[in-house]
Structure 1
Amino acid sequence: MQRLAVIGLGLIGGSLARALRAAGAVAHISGYDPDPSRRDDAQRLCVIDRVCDTPAAAVRDADLVVLSVPVLQTADALVACLPACKLDVVITDVGSTKTSVLEDVKRVCGQLPPWFVAGHPIAGTEKSGIAHSQAELFRRHRVILTPHANQDAAAQSLVTRIWQAAGARVVEMDAHRHDAIFAATSHLPHVLAYSFVDMLARLDDSDEIFRNAGGGFRDFSRIASSSPQMWHDIVRANAHSVGELLDRQIGELQQIRAMLRESRWDELKALFERARSARERYLAQIE
């Protein structure tokens, strides 16, 4: 691949640019971000060869365009890029929801175009912005592609190869199944972390609580330091799946509240043991 364009110079877009440059997988990288400070960072850190003032300027002559924008901005980014793209361009995204992205692309294009490949790298940190990007971010992590009925095999192969060059393992999944799984493993946990920290912050003695918080609080609340705008968009785009799981979680918490009220300590311990065993099985699978 000769020319890559990255639209959205955040953690993911910047890390992909760094990874592909380190792997020698691309000859030239252009980029755009609506935030002037991120454009300045990309230029200063030499992550991008050519930082542009408009999306159209960034994608001109690009072989591959990566939309690394909040999921609710996918349609606007596509509209801004398409008029300047080459006829044989391949466009992909990195959004954490896939059904909403495919619906937005279909709405913009009238149908799902063969050259659009929906993708989601399962990697990141609670930090945002290209200043926190790192070439090793995707190494040994999964990237999920959700092919659609009109998918061009060559376009999907190109996107697969660039993620493999970045060190990732690429798998395929149905878009609806993807959204259900990540509502459970990513989207709902962020909702719970944000809600928990916000609840504590509104207590009268919140300052004293935070001063005395230990490692458990830091571990549980870490993802509440993530970008509020990004996670607002993700939860909004996947509201149905997140809402269903949130109802189940509320039911579980109500059961725990009843155990406390009725001194059902054996049941509470059994719940803790089941959860611990489930997490140990999960850790064994990924090691």
Structure 2
Amino acid sequence: MNPIQHLVVIGTGLIGGSVSLALKRAGVVHRVTGVGRSRENLELAQQLGVVDDWTHDVARAVSSADMVLLSVPMNAYESLFAAMADHLPVGCVVTDAGSTKQTAIAAAKQILPNPERFIAAHPIAGTEQSGAAAAFAELFDQRLCIVTPESDSDAAALARVKEMWQQTGSRVEVMSASDHDEFLASVSHLPHLAAFALVNAVSKQATETQDPFRFAAGGFRDFTRIASSSPEMWRDIALCNRDALLHQIELFQVELNGLREALLADDDERLLNEFGAAKEARDNWLAKHGEGL
């Protein structure tokens, strides 16, 4: 086990901050530098022990790093890669925590001098909270982290990134970037869009005298929890994974249209079959994977 001498976390929010705290908990990182735009958030991160020091200067931060983690909106990758490209030390490994992988890899190949040392990753963990104050060391415990190397990825860099995510408490799985983006479009990106759409649909029904949210209870709260997530982050995820997400929206619309047809036809048997199939599929999923949720 090789400790990380200097980890630079670009984006010291929930995910980036939790990575730092998890590695500090494991005793495998000597120094963590936070990089971000908000002075207030960076100062809070240092006060909370999430980072040891901070700067707004990407180039200066990475100049002595042996590991760099990007935990930022997807549309920031190109500018950040450009800012660090001429300042990364020989042997420095770069990884990320973004929700789409093909666009991240494409940006690295276009801009970084040694893109084979960029190992894309995505921890499947999070909450609807944001900022350094939301970070906690246990966020990744027994959660899946997907690593998506390329055929020409540096073997030592890949091993180091896998080890780092394991040290956070994650269960690491390797797959292709294209498979990752398609799978995550169905089980993560589409649910977020559905939650945003449902909240907006209900909100637009409000009048001066009636507030439909007044009648919402636990089911609505649970289903729409993720609509409280960062709009900026999810805008970028949706656009970066557009093709896979459009495919999943089409599949979802097919299911909604089927339910609409059943309602129009008063087809109680079809409704029962559809609801039963969904319940069985979800129950089986929880029985098989529930402990890691």
Q: Tell me if both proteins adopt one fold, taking TM over 0.5 as the criterion.
A: yes
Aligned with 1:24 (options 14, 23, 27): 27
In structure 2, the residue matched to 1:12 is 15
In structure 1, the residue matched to 2:108 is 105
Deviation readout 1:224-253 (Å, 9 max, x if unpaired):
000000000001000101101101211211
Following the alignment from structure 1 to structure 2, what is the Cα–Cα distance between the partners of residues 4 and 204?
A: 48
Following the alignment from structure 2 to structure 1, what is the Cα–Cα distance between the partners of residues 177 and 205?
A: 40
Following the alignment from structure 1 to structure 2, what is the Cα–Cα distance between the partners of residues 22 and 57?
A: 26
Following the alignment from structure 1 to structure 2, what is the Cα–Cα distance between the partners of residues 53 and 248?
A: 43
SS in structure 1 at match of 2:29: coil
Following the alignment from structure 1 to structure 2, what is the Cα–Cα distance between the partners of residues 107 and 223?
A: 33
Does residue 278 of the first structure (1) align with residue 289 of the second (2)? no
Aligned with 2:219 (options 212, 216, 222): 216
Alpha-carbon distance, 1:255 to partner: 1.5
Does residue 85 of the first structure (1) align with residue 114 of the second (2)? no
Following the alignment from structure 2 to structure 1, what is the Cα–Cα distance between the partners of residues 191 and 42?
A: 31
Deviation readout 1:92-140 (Å, 9 max, x if unpaired):
0111001111111112137x72211010001000111111000000000
Alpha-carbon distance, 1:208 to partner: 2.7
Aligned with 1:137 (options 136, 139, 145): 139
- The CA RMSD measured in Å over matched residues stands at 1.3
Following the alignment from structure 2 to structure 1, what is the Cα–Cα distance between the partners of residues 82 and 288?
A: 41
SS in structure 1 at match of 2:275: helix
In structure 2, the residue matched to 1:122 is 124
Following the alignment from structure 1 to structure 2, what is the Cα–Cα distance between the partners of residues 197 and 44?
A: 36
SS in structure 2 at match of 1:222: helix
Does residue 186 of the first structure (1) align with residue 169 of the second (2)? no
SS in structure 1 at match of 2:235: helix
Following the alignment from structure 2 to structure 1, what is the Cα–Cα distance between the partners of residues 193 and 251?
A: 14
SS in structure 2 at match of 1:114: helix
Asked if structure 1 preserves the Cα contact closer than 8 Å seen for 2:206 and 2:212, the reply is no
Following the alignment from structure 1 to structure 2, what is the Cα–Cα distance between the partners of residues 226 and 49?
A: 27
Pairing of 1:230-269 with structure 2 (within 5 A): 230-269=233-272
Alpha-carbon distance, 1:205 to partner: 4.2
Alpha-carbon distance, 1:258 to partner: 1.3
Q: Percent identity?
A: 41
Following the alignment from structure 1 to structure 2, what is the Cα–Cα distance between the partners of residues 42 and 83?
A: 27
Aligned with 1:164 (options 163, 166, 170): 166
In structure 2, the residue matched to 1:47 is 50
Following the alignment from structure 2 to structure 1, what is the Cα–Cα distance between the partners of residues 34 and 85?
A: 15
Asked if structure 1 preserves the Cα contact closer than 8 Å seen for 2:10 and 2:34, the reply is yes
Following the alignment from structure 1 to structure 2, what is the Cα–Cα distance between the partners of residues 77 and 109?
A: 10
TM-score (norm 2): 0.94
Following the alignment from structure 2 to structure 1, what is the Cα–Cα distance between the partners of residues 61 and 173?
A: 29
Following the alignment from structure 2 to structure 1, what is the Cα–Cα distance between the partners of residues 258 and 166?
A: 45
TM-score (norm 1): 0.96
Following the alignment from structure 1 to structure 2, what is the Cα–Cα distance between the partners of residues 66 and 50?
A: 15
Asked if structure 2 preserves the Cα contact closer than 8 Å seen for 1:113 and 1:150, the reply is no
Asked if structure 1 preserves the Cα contact closer than 8 Å seen for 2:81 and 2:112, the reply is no
Asked if structure 1 preserves the Cα contact closer than 8 Å seen for 2:189 and 2:238, the reply is yes
AA partner of residue 216 (structure 2): A
